Amino acid sequence: MRVLILTLGTRGDVQPYIALGEELLRRGHEVGLATSASFEGVVAPRGIRFYPLADDIVAMARSAEGRGIMDPRGGWLAWGGSGGQGMSRA
């Protein structure tokens, strides 16, 4: 069977799909993984066909705008992205 896995996120979001791809390969399937271009060095050496996506969430997270979104004092995290902390804020 030919399988294409599509995922975006950080390394922690992508890693489970790399493991899934490795297991599918082990079972004899053809596997491709489409994700941020920054993960090519992690995916391709495992024998999984790599398809880079133009939207690089890692680069965005490292940008000034990305850091602002993740700022626990007023960004997305302050509104619940940290396990519910900040959700009672009016």
- In this structure, the strands spanning 49-53 and 30-36 are parallel
Phi and psi angles of residue 21, each rounded to the nearest 5 degrees, phi first: -60, -40
Q: What is the mean pLDDT of the chain?
A: 81
Q: Name the one residue in this structure whose structure tokens are 């804020």.
A: 89
CB 7 within 8 A of CB 33: yes
Phi and psi angles of residue 52, each rounded to the nearest 5 degrees, phi first: -70, 140
The answer to whether residue 80 scores a pLDDT higher than 60 is no
What percent of the chain is predicted at pLDDT more than 90? 50
Q: Who has greater pLDDT, 82 or 73? A: 73
In the prediction, which pLDDT does 79 show? Answer: 54
- Binned at pLDDT 50, 70 and 90, residue 31 comes out as very high
The alpha carbon dihedral of 24, 25, 29, 33 has a sign of positive
The answer to whether residue 42 scores a pLDDT higher than 60 is yes
